[in-house]
Structure 1
Amino acid sequence: MFRIWFFILIIAVPAAEIGVLLWSGKQIGVPLTVLLIILTGILGTYLARSQGMKIINQARQQLNYGQMPGDAVLDGVCILIGGTMLLSPGFLSDVFGILLLLPLTRKFFKRWLALAIKRWINKGNVKIIR
């Protein structure tokens, strides 16, 4: 299973990104395509910073009240990945990055991430040290 995901991440995703960039350059022109890539990078930086600061403050509040900031940690992971995706050149990664940064769509990914972590813990792949 790891090999399939590794293949997709290393070979298929960049190939798809290149294909979309070439198609975009042909449809709207190279200068506009480059401008859109730069603008999504700027948008990604802004969204990741604003959402990240909001989540950091939420985690601080939860810690001050003696609560574990589990939900805030999942939000932080999604924001980190989403911001990174928006900074990388390509439109497919930009769409995925925006979905991870927007609070409405991030809920889906947080549920999936929480389930994946629970499965890893139950399988013994992750050890919790107290």
Structure 2
Amino acid sequence: MHFVNQSHNYDHPWSHVVIGMWHKYPNPKCTHVVSIDVLDRSVDPKTGIIRTERVLGCKQKAPKWIVKLFGGSEDAFVREISFIDPRTQNATITSENLSLSQFATCLEQIRSNDVMAECS
């Protein structure tokens, strides 16, 4: 198991940091992300928490022989779920690969106070 933990403090208001988190994709510097589809978006009437579920379509940069060996394609998909709580000023975005997940799983979690990524 490979584990990476990265942390960075931004000297900006919480709302600006969350907007930056939300604008991770799409952006012009990540040209490998070719599509973003919103599957579900809801607001919990009791807590005010905004939940969004998206699927990101990406183009892989893996060598063709690896793609053929594992039976995949250059198209890859990632499921992303975010929770934004304006009342407590907490935000979490969790992403997990859907493609080739039987061989390796990459889980990324971004929180309004830290970033964690785990791949295995």
Tell me the TM-score normalised to structure 2 length. 0.27
Comparing both chains, which one has the higher relative contact order based on Cα–Cα distances under 8 Å and sequence gaps of 6 or more? Answer: 2
Larger Rg: 1
More strand by share: 2
TM-score by length of 1: 0.25
